[in-house]
Amino acid sequence: MKIAWLPLLLLVACTTEEPVVDSTATDPGSTSTDPTTTDPTTTDTPTTGPTTTDDTEASATDVDPTGVDPDSSTGDDGSSSDDGTTGPIPDECDGIEMIELLDPFVTPVDSKSWTPGGSVTVGATMHNPGPDYISYPSIIVESDNPLVTSGMPNNSLFAILEDQSLEIYVTFEADDATLAGTEVTFTIRMASLDNVCPNGDAVEVSAILE
């Protein structure tokens, strides 16, 4: 009986022994890949549509959405006037900010009242608390009504000395088409000859046609 079982044991041993396969090995010819391995030929970037990078977003946030230069609120020399205008002050306007326009007036010419077709003088008292100003202190006058005009809306002095007060005016005429009861506002500005000084005084005065 012992001799008869030996061939059977050998047969069982031969049929149950199998080669050990390494589960981590990859068949070179296989099309499957380890899910943890990334194919260098494929990316997560979409194949269509524009891409946005962090650099582009950062540069966009650097642009001021208002489009306003923060240095544009002042003139080339950084100057600013009291009336809100900005810009470089002309040399001839240097010191004119000391001069005041006082007691503005509108006076009918050759009449007790201002009527359509009539003229008025528009002016003010120019007062200089000092120092002397010798760069042709002037006024330029504007009307807010296109029917009320002046052939010479500016007037100039040669100089105004310290503590001096001088009356200065121009003449305006109302067109015949101007209606009675119309109120006209005149703006008087300090200037040097025919150049309005952004650092100069300015006043308004109104009158009504009768």
Give me the percent of the chain exceeding a pLDDT of 70.
59
pLDDT band at 206 (very low <50, low <70, confident <90, very high): very high
DSSP for 8-44, written as a single string: HHHHHHHHH--PPP-TT---TT-S---TTSPPTT--S
The pLDDT value recorded for residue 88 is 81
Give the mean pLDDT of the chain: 74
Q: Where are the domains of the chain?
A: 99-208
d(CA 161, CA 163): 6
Paired tokens of 174: 């109302």
What contacts 15, CB < 8 A, 6 or more positions away?
A: none
Contact 206, 185 (CB under 8 A): yes
Q: Does the CA dihedral 115-183-176-156 come out positive or negative?
A: positive
The pLDDT value recorded for residue 124 is 98
Q: Which fold has domain 99-208?
A: Immunoglobulin-like (2.60.40)
Q: What is the mean pLDDT of residues 39-52?
A: 42
Q: What is the mean pLDDT of residues 127-142?
A: 96
Choose among 179, 110, 169, 123: nearest CA to 147: 179
Residue 138 host element (H or E): strand 137-143
The pLDDT value recorded for residue 58 is 30
What does the pLDDT look like over 66-121, one tens digit per residue?
A: 333 434 334 444 444 444 455 688 888 999 999 999 999 999 999 999 999 999 99
What does the pLDDT look like over 145-189, one tens digit per residue?
A: 999 999 999 999 999 999 999 999 999 999 999 999 999 999 999
Q: Of residues 36 and 153, which shows the higher confidence score?
A: 153
Q: What is the mean pLDDT of residues 14-34?
A: 45
Task: Inform me whether the pLDDT recorded for 42 exceeds 90.
Answer: no
